[in-house]
Amino acid sequence: MLVPVIFAFNGGPGASSTFLHLGALGPKRVIFPADLNAEIAPPYELADNNYAPLDVADLVLIDPVETGYSRLAPGAKRESFYTAAGDARTGDEDAAQPQADDRRRLV
C-alpha cells in the first residue's frame, strides 16, 4: 500500500513550521479567541485537531535554513542559503529524501 506524503513548507524570520503544526496539520491545535485581533500569549490552550491529515498521510514539515529549529551544518556558508534559489534547492533536497522509501508518494 502506498502512503501519501504531504510536504508543508514554512518559515521565515520568527515563523517556523510550529504554526503549521499547531494551527492546521498536527494532532493538536491552538485554541484561538473568536476575536482574531485579540492578543494571546503562552501558555496556549490546546484542543484535538479533528481535521489533521495524519490518519491518511505522512507529514513532512520543512523549515528553511535557520528558521524554527533548522540550523546550518558546521562549515556551511550562510550566503548559499539566504536566497530564493537556496531555499528552493534545499527544499527540493528535503522533499526527495522521504521518497527514497518506495511506500510513499507525493500528494
pLDDT tens digits for range 6-24: 888 776 655 556 677 777 8
Cell of 47: 484542543
What is the reported pLDDT for 107?
Answer: 46
| pLDDT tens per residue across span 33-84 | 888 788 877 788 899 999 999 999 988 877 777 776 677 888 888 877 777 7
What is the reported pLDDT for 96?
Answer: 64
What's the full length of the chain, in residues? 107
Cα 44 to Cα 29: distance, rounded to the nearest angstrom: 9
Q: Tell me the H-state helices in the chain.
A: 18-20, 84-96
- Minimal CA–CA distance to 55: which of 77, 25, 35? 25
Cα 93 to Cα 73: distance, rounded to the nearest angstrom: 15
- Minimal CA–CA distance to 64: which of 42, 22, 94? 94
Residue 73, judged by CB atoms within 10 A of its CB (0-12, 13-18, 19+), counts as exposed
What is the reported pLDDT for 12?
Answer: 60
What's the predicted TM-score (pTM) here?
0.63
Amino acid at 7: F
Is the Cβ–Cβ distance between 68 and 19 less than 8 Å? no
